Chain A
Amino acid sequence: MNEIELLPHSRVRDVFGLAESAARELGIRDVEVIVAAESSALTRFANNAIHQNVAQQVLSVSIRTVRDNRTARATTNRLDAGSIRRAVAQAAAIMNSVKPLPYLPRMAGPSPFEEVDRFCTATAAASPADRARAIAEAIGIAEQASQTAAGIFSTEQGAHAILNSAGVFAYHAATMARFSVTAMTGDSSGWAKVSAVDRREIDTAGFAARAVEKARLSRNVQKLPPGRYTVVLEPAAVLDLVGQMFGDFSATALLDQRSFLTGRMGQRLFGENISIRDDAYHPLQAGPGFDGEGSPRQRLLLVDAGTPKEVARSRMAAQRDGAPPTGHGFPLPNETGEAPVNIVITGGDVPVDRMVASLDRGILVTRLWYIREVDPYEKIMTGMTRDGTFLVEGGRIRCGVRNFRFNQSLIEMLQNVEALSPSARVSGEETFDMVVPAMQVTDFQFTEVTHF
């Protein structure tokens, strides 16, 4: 456990000690404490200048008490003994007011979990000037092309620890850097985004050049009619769209009958070329090797060659279902139970440029926007294309096109995947980062066209 200065083990243990003794004074033996600390900074630019530039340092202590199958939580960002005691008292007051939960598990005991090293000193030490210099370079690339750039460069370090009265001590420290850029000309735009544990792996100039090239290629946009098209969805578009379905891979969602997998587990639902895992230990993934109760994350085979096979299961869902937990529970108490959060979609061997080259006629989509669920069981999603939507004809990009609205069932879409690119770590705006490929999809349904 790579302890960091922002949240030393000794401080975590001190806080836990204060909470445990405050709970004992109230006759409560079972206590869980989550301590989190984060130091983050984000530099934002628009109109080829930095216009917002912020940093924040945040600490929190979240205390859960348990007695007689009742539980509740209280959170504070003050670490003095009085504040901890007050938080324990608040949790206890709420706990005493609720009915017992029939399947509330006992506090998790200590279990070994795989260590993951996701902390980079260079990212943690990034200065405002480091971010500003990279942004100035990106702006310069846009200006050279007579374009306007907007975006962000952020760096953050953080750590969180989960301790409980049954002996769990789980600690994870991490860093993350994100760079995102939108390049704009008169009637077109392009976009690129990347995230990495080590900021030195981010080629900010390269991503800026990619956004600028997309904006250049999509100038003089044409209006196409809505309808069903073969599309090449770049990885960010796949991420933000397919990413909307993973909350349904949850034992609690199945019990509640609010998952589109209700009645469909074990049946072939998608194409045979669709396999999806949840793997917290994948080298391109982020996050800890334990869940919101400190239980070790297991690897899951969510979809095997088109067939939904496994779902995430919290300890509470496990107790109810008589099945083993998978280490994907959210901190208790909660309504949603659990979800897989380290998604890896198996890729193929067709890079995006070969997909485009193989296409007689279709649409290349850079990114999707404002994606919302229209139908929860057919998993119909709506949303817009954005920042780089192109007509492909005869294997070449012909022109940029006005942005489309789509209404598309994810089930149908994942039956119609003709080709997959190799998978990569991808960052979007509508869901968390995942490891996903680009996809070539037939009969993708665009229902309307907007004015730009």
Chain B
Amino acid sequence: MKQTALEALDAAMRNGVSYVDVRLIEDRNRRLSTKNGAAGDVSSSESVGIGIRVIASGCWGFAATDDLTKNGIRRAAALAVEIAQASALARRHELVLAPEEAYRADWISPCAIDPFSMPIEDQLHLLMAVDGTLRRTPGVTLAETSMDFTRRRQVFASSAGSVIDQTRTTTGAGFTVYSFKENEIQKRSYPNSFGGHYQLKGYELVDELKLIENAPRIAEEAVALHSADQCPEGVFDLILDSSQLALQIHESIGHPIELDRVLGSEANYAGMSFLTLDQLRTLRYGSGIVNVVCDARPEHGPGLGTFAFDDEGVPAQRVDVIRNGLFTGYMTSRETAAAAGDAKSNGTMRADGWMHIPLIRMTNVSLLPGEQSIEQVFGDVEHAIYMETNRSWSIDDKRYNFQFGCEIAWEIRNGRRVRMLKNPSYSGISTEFWNSCAAIAGREHWTLWGVPNCGKGQPEQVMGTGHGASPARFSAVKIGGAYQE
């Protein structure tokens, strides 16, 4: 693969081209799912191709192809240059990239149990066993289970001299159970919605999830929701489980800190950000106990945003995004770093495949653990609403106003669950919400969740991102507005 990547690099370097990088990628995927005791989407796929990115006439051009013959690569390289030259028809200024070292590196993510070497029968057997357990609970009308495995080998080579060979294996697994009764559909998911939990691991993740052990409880909760009281509408203290908090971080911190959004690159589609450049190191983003990092380094954990180098050859880094409540950093690229006053990129450029360009994407944007015990999070107020597992999510195109729905909630009095609540939702303004953060549980309750389906860009790319969080409490949050009469 390295030889092919270097040949592509040579093919694109020509008069008028000031920079080239290529990403030659081999993808492999296996997806297994069941529905009500029958196989669902059971499939495998593989894909190989190359993306060639050039700067010519001071502008970007990019072409991707799966024709890896010499002629195919030559055609793609020529097209990338032609596209860059056409970009110059509507150019405002010449592109300048922040400097970066040349690296020669090989990196393979840890994978204790190779999911692709395991018998498919064993994987399906587990899913069918979970499916059967779920449907043993009376009132369950639909049970769905799934596993998803991917392996990507990517060779990155650039005209600056880098040659970086990375292989990442990710695993996801989970289940969802539905109950339809008397004009109401309720559902519960485990360990998270969006197909479960995803990490940069092998099959060992599936073993850790204890899917069968949790199936009866989750199925019973789905059915019990029909008899639960409607979540009240009002302003209450709110406690979020770590999976819902992970999505809250994703939407109300992760996206706003993307510097390309701030600068307007996404204005037509994904939108912009309230975090204008003047807010850097001045905005009180959250309360003093809120500390958020963007950390792609393996030592942060096996997240969907963990790697050794990003997709323009910049090493994985940790960036302080919010320090003791103060907004301190954006996610940047080689093209945008200077706008934030940085000399170099902090390494967040990622593409979802060989056919797309890298964009600024979340790596692992995590809320650091707090100093409170879980008993303090739940018990230090007389009354609160505790919500688990995302059901709906929506935020405006500058990331101020959000609304989330969860699958289940409980009313908490003096640290104890006193009643189950159905159809819970909460809403607010991003900075007001994070400034109301009153308690964050410690490291022992911290989980690095995976969000596998983050959309951005045109053509749209779907990226996996990581978000570490532990349960946390927020004061005086608007609850129940989604069902407002």
Contact = CB atoms under 8 A, between A and B. Distances in A.
Nearest to A256: B142
B263 A450 contact: no
A165 B120 CA distance: 26
Contact of A135 (B39, B48, B84, B90): B90
Contacts of A40: 459
A66 interface: no
B318 to A, nearest CB: 28
A76 B405 CA distance: 38
Nearest to A42: B459
Nearest to B63: A55
A101 B35 CA distance: 11
Of B39, B67, B425, most buried by chain A (CB within 10 Å of CB) is B39
A284 interface: no
B279 interface: no
B91 A97 contact: no
User: Binding site of A, secondary structure by majority: helix, strand, loop or mixed?
Assistant: strand
Contacts of B44: 73-75, 90-91, 94
B60 A256 contact: no
Contacts of B93: 49
Contacts of A52: 60, 62, 265, 357, 458
B481 A154 contact: no
Interface in B54-95: 59-67, 76, 79-80, 82-87, 89-93
A32 B265 CA distance: 42
Nearest to A47: B264
Interface string A374-406: 111100101110100000000000000001010
Interface string B110-133: 000000000111001000100000
A302 to B, nearest CB: 20
A444 B437 CA distance: 33
Interface stretch (A176-184, A343-351, A414-422): A176-184
Interface in B397-444: 397-398, 400-401, 403, 405, 423, 425, 427, 429
A334 B62 CA distance: 34
B141 interface: yes
Given A132-B86, A372-B394, A377 B60 contact: no
A14 interface: no
Contacts of B43: 72-75, 91, 94, 333
Contacts of B263: 47
Interface string A428-446: 0100000000000000010
B401 A76 contact: no
Category for how many chain B residues contact A: 35 or more
B45 interface: yes
Nearest to A189: B267
User: Binding site of B, secondary structure by majority: helix, strand, loop or mixed?
Assistant: mixed
A258 B478 CA distance: 29
A74 B46 CA distance: 8
B60 A333 contact: no
A56 interface: yes
B62 A335 contact: no
Nearest to B85: A128
A75 B393 contact: no
B481 A78 contact: no
A102 B38 CA distance: 9
Given A370-B397, A383-B394, A55 B423 contact: no
B47 A76 contact: yes
B42 A257 contact: no
B424 to A, nearest CB: 11
A263 B183 CA distance: 8
A380 B83 contact: no
Contacts of B178: 256-258
Contacts of A87: 46
B180 interface: yes
A189 to B, nearest CB: 8
Contacts of A75: 43-47
A56 B63 contact: yes
Contacts of B207: none
B184 interface: yes
A191 B268 CA distance: 8
Of B356, B403, B483, most buried by chain A (CB within 10 Å of CB) is B403
B89 A133 contact: yes
A124 B482 CA distance: 45
B77 to A, nearest CB: 12
Contacts of B371: none
A273 interface: no
A77 B48 contact: yes
A403 B396 contact: yes
A358 interface: no
Given A374-B392, A450-B396, A94 B120 contact: yes
A357 interface: no
A139 interface: yes
Contacts of B234: none
Contact of A380 (B59, B393, B482): B482
A76 B45 CA distance: 6
Contact of A377 (B42, B61, B120, B185): B185
A220 interface: no
B41 interface: yes
Given A93-B120, A256-B141, A429-B269, A370 B481 contact: no
- Listed from nearest, the 7 A-B pairs whose CB atoms lie closest are A128-B86, A257-B180, A450-B401, A150-B267, A75-B45, A49-B92, A98-B39
Interface of B: 32-33, 35-49, 59-67, 76, 79-80, 82-87, 89-93, 119-121, 124, 128, 141-142, 144, 178, 180, 183-185, 263-269, 271, 274, 355-357, 391-398, 400-401, 403, 405, 423, 425, 427, 429, 458-459, 481-484
25 contacts: A45-B90, A49-B91, A51-B265, A55-B79, A55-B83, A56-B64, A56-B355, A91-B43, A99-B37, A99-B39, A128-B82, A132-B86, A180-B268, A333-B40, A333-B43, A369-B397, A372-B392, A377-B185, A382-B392, A382-B405, A384-B395, A405-B401, A447-B484, A450-B398, A450-B429
